[in-house]
Amino acid sequence: MSGIEAFGTTFQNPVLLAAGTCGFGLEVAEVVDLEALGGFVTKSVTLEPRDGNAAPRVTEFDGGMLNSIGLANPGVERVRREKLPWLRQLERARVWMSLAGHAPDEYERLIEALDDADGFLGYELNLSCPNDQRRGGLPFALDAEVLPGVLERCRARTERPLLAKLAPNDPRLVETARRVAEAGLDGVTLVNTLPGRIVEASTGHAILGAGSGGVSGPALRPVGVHAVATVRSALDLPVVGVGGVRRASDARQYLRAGATLVQIGTATFADPRIPERVARALARAAA
């Protein structure tokens, strides 16, 4: 497969690592050949450092995984100082910085804190974390009142490509994606994890320390493919697909549904070589 021209650059293949599954790249560099991929999305960065939610933060079930990490990250100042220098030596992998905020103005402040630095292509605005309770469980992607202002103010602060990561449980997904397009962003990432809970059958106690979490893995794949197909059939807006990709045929489902790029997350925990294999298999099929 020759490169994919998108978002103002060339991706050598359509496979990215999903936000939250590869830290800031260097954390996985010994087990993943990042330069063999189209690129990756960093862990979501917040203005202040965050320790994350109570343990246990991750559990498995027969359809995939449930997580409530709670946005654990070193905060934007340390990310700029300690993570960006390493990212600068990457030549082929394209890096998206994932940004997360609790208040509407935090996204633009994160962009202001990062935008003059090198080492990354653009931003993926995480507007759909299911594990941030500060806003009463209502992520910005599901808040039609506040969302347009957040998007417009981010657009005004950067010329880099901007993606908005949206929620799978959005009853008005096309309208939400239309707001993203109207604000002048470059595309949407579909989808974040689906809110869920696993309880001990004998006691009713939630397994995760935070109670609820986000469902990822194979159970999320049909949800993600449907979201991509729904938005692509309604809007001329580039889409990055994510959810449950484990093999090349899964990635192809997203590409056939209209995705420009595909992210892989949960599968890499079981086998960090999966994204490279998927990228190679897609390239072989296209040759």
Which residues are catalytically annotated? Answer: 129
Contacts for 77 with CB less than 8 Å, ≥ 6 apart = 113
188 binds ligand RRO (CB under 6 A): no
Dihedrals φ, ψ of 104, to 5°? -55, -35
Q: Which of 79, 99, 129, 208 is close enough to bind ligand RRO by CB under 6 A?
A: 129
Nearer to ligand RRO (CB atom), residue 125 or residue 279 = 125
Site for ligand RRO in 66-95 (CB under 6 A): 67-71
Site for ligand RRO in 44-63 (CB under 6 A): 44
Q: Which secondary structure element, helix H or strand E, spans residue 259, and what is its range?
A: none
CA distances in angstroms from 226 to 71, 144, 230, listed in the order given: 27, 21, 6
Cβ of residue 287: shortest distance to ligand RRO, in angstroms?
35
Cβ of residue 170: shortest distance to ligand RRO, in angstroms?
14
131 binds ligand RRO (CB under 6 A): yes
Nearer to ligand RRO (CB atom), residue 20 or residue 258 = 20
Cβ of residue 214: shortest distance to ligand RRO, in angstroms?
3
Is residue 165 a contact partner of residue 128, using CB atoms and an 8 Å limit?
yes
Q: Which of 32, 84, 95, 100 is close enough to bind ligand RRO by CB under 6 A?
A: 100
Count of residues of this chain found to bind ligand RRO when the rule CB under 6 A is applied: 15
Nearer to ligand RRO (CB atom), residue 42 or residue 260 = 42
Query: 144-148 contacts: CB < 8 A, separation 24 or more?
Result: 144/172, 144/175, 144/176, 144/179, 146/104, 147/176, 147/179, 148/179, 148/182, 148/183
Site for ligand RRO in 141-160 (CB under 6 A): none
Cis amide linkage into residue 56, ω under 30° from 0: yes
Closest CA to 278 of 244, 237, 238, 250: 250
257 binds ligand RRO (CB under 6 A): no
Nearer to ligand RRO (CB atom), residue 59 or residue 283 = 59
Q: Which stretch binds ligand RRO (CB under 6 A): 75-83, 122-130, 248-256, 268-276?
A: 122-130
Q: Which of 192, 253, 263, 266 is close enough to bind ligand RRO by CB under 6 A?
A: 192
Map tokens 């979501």 to a residue.
44
260 binds ligand RRO (CB under 6 A): no
Is residue 228 a contact partner of residue 239, using CB atoms and an 8 Å limit?
yes
Is residue 17 a contact partner of residue 268, using CB atoms and an 8 Å limit?
yes
214 binds ligand RRO (CB under 6 A): yes
Burial class (CB in 10 A: 0-12, 13-18, 19+), 259: buried
Nearer to ligand RRO (CB atom), residue 245 or residue 279 = 245
268 binds ligand RRO (CB under 6 A): no
Q: How many other β-carbons are positioned within 10 Å of the β-carbon of residue 173?
A: 21
Say how far apart CA 20 and CA 98 lie, in whole Å: 9
Dihedrals φ, ψ of 177, to 5°? -65, -35
Nearer to ligand RRO (CB atom), residue 72 or residue 255 = 72
99 binds ligand RRO (CB under 6 A): no
195 binds ligand RRO (CB under 6 A): no
Q: Which residues bind ligand RRO (CB under 6 A)?
A: 20, 44, 67-71, 100, 126, 129-131, 192-193, 214
